[in-house]
Amino acid sequence: MSLRSRLDPFTLLLLATVALASLLPVQGRAAVVMDVVTNGAIAALFFLHGARLSRAAIVAGALHWRLHLTILACTFALFPLIGLLGRPLSGWLLTPELYVGVLFLCALPSTVQSSIAFTSMAGGNVPAAVCSASLSSLLGVALTPLLMALLVGSAEGAMAHPLTAVGKIMLLLLLPFVAGHLLRPVVGGWVERRRAVLRWTDQGTILLVVYTAFSASVIEGLWQETPVWTLIAVAAVCAVLLGIAMPLIAWIARRLGFDRADEIAIVFCGSKKSLATGLPMAKLMFASGGLGAIVLPIMIYHQIQLIVCAVVARRYARGAAQAATG
């Protein structure tokens, strides 16, 4: 994943996929087949994620419990609280479905790859970032649907049957993840040798989810109900959300007495949200008609967090260099 302050190639692919779904949405029998293929790709994706996570990372992660609890609290408590403060925006600046998407964004786990990359770039505690990001991603499979059930329940555009959604999450995400981890002694070496190739598996699955989600939403009249000014509003809300969360998380880390390296890990792991986990989960959790609007906030937040975190990481790195020479 590129850390440059511009649109990375994958973001361009996302935009191209949205355009394709808008012009040529899949429907009818082809849509049913595509839905089965997408579900299979999601299960395979989380099987591979489980196979990548080493037992040593799980054991090491338990040793720095204060840091991990702080990151989990920021990810699964602080963000949802901030999202709830934006409830007056629903029906005014944002459509109900887009506001549900903002709440869904707030309930998602942290990223793994880019959280670690930014922590390393900034000179932070990389082993702690590896453990925390992995733990957040694993717990998010269960916590995100439960949080959404509490935040929105069966409201318009939300989960029609929260318990059913949790069951689907367990079946297509958690079960393959656990199976992959248990089979790590058998397939772990093969997975490690093909990390570069498997990155395309991750991204290909996301593109499949985006295409099927937006196809269904376009057929339901997504673009007629979501004008350009609303997209601008979503981008502004995502920027404000990140602008509030990152300084607040840094302040919390300092108040709790963490050193600079730990603070960096907390800031990046605690403020980032996973597109790779979020889109497959949304596919399983929400009614297809509103899915395109619901996943828009996380797609937009994804690019904003790359740009902002790259700038913040460079600033941390410069501060460390100046402290070393001073």
* pLDDT band for position 173 (cuts 50, 70, 90): confident
Structure confidence at residue 265 (pLDDT): 94
Q: Is 202 a residue whose pLDDT tops 90?
A: no
DSSP per residue, 249-310: HHHHHHHTT--HHHHHHHHHHHH---HHHHHHHHHHHS-GGGHHHHHHHHHHHHHHHHHHHH
Short-list 95, 107, 84, CA closest to 169: 107
The C-alpha atoms of residue 92 and residue 257 are separated, in whole angstroms, by 41
Which alpha helices (H) appear in the chain, and where do they start and end?
A: 9-23, 29-52, 55-61, 65-73, 79-85, 96-107, 113-122, 126-151, 162-169, 175-182, 184-193, 195-219, 222-225, 228-255, 260-271, 275-285, 291-325
Rounded (10°) CA dihedral 192, 196, 198, 199: 130
Q: Is 2 left (phi over 0), alpha (psi -120 to 50) or beta?
A: beta
Amino acid at 137: S
Q: What is the structure's pLDDT at 243?
A: 96
Joined tokens for residue 206: 């996301």
- Cβ atoms 242, 271 nearer than 8 A: yes
Question: How many Cα atoms are found within 13 Å in the side-chain-facing hemisphere of 197?
Answer: 5
Q: What is the pLDDT of residues 79-135, one digit of tens each?
A: 999 999 999 888 788 888 899 999 999 999 998 777 888 888 888 888 888 788 888
Q: What is the separation, in whole angstroms, between the first and last Cα of the chain?
A: 33
CA 57 to chain centre: 21
Task: Note the pLDDT of residue 254.
Answer: 96
Taking CA atoms, 51 is separated from 2, 126, 189, 202, in Å, by 24, 20, 9, 14
Q: How far apart are CA 176 and CA 45, in angstroms?
A: 8
The structure's pTM equals 0.76
- Contacts (Cβ under 8 Å, ≥6 apart) of 134: 53, 57, 58, 61, 112
Of 3-12, 83-92, 181-190, 284-293, least confident by mean pLDDT is 3-12
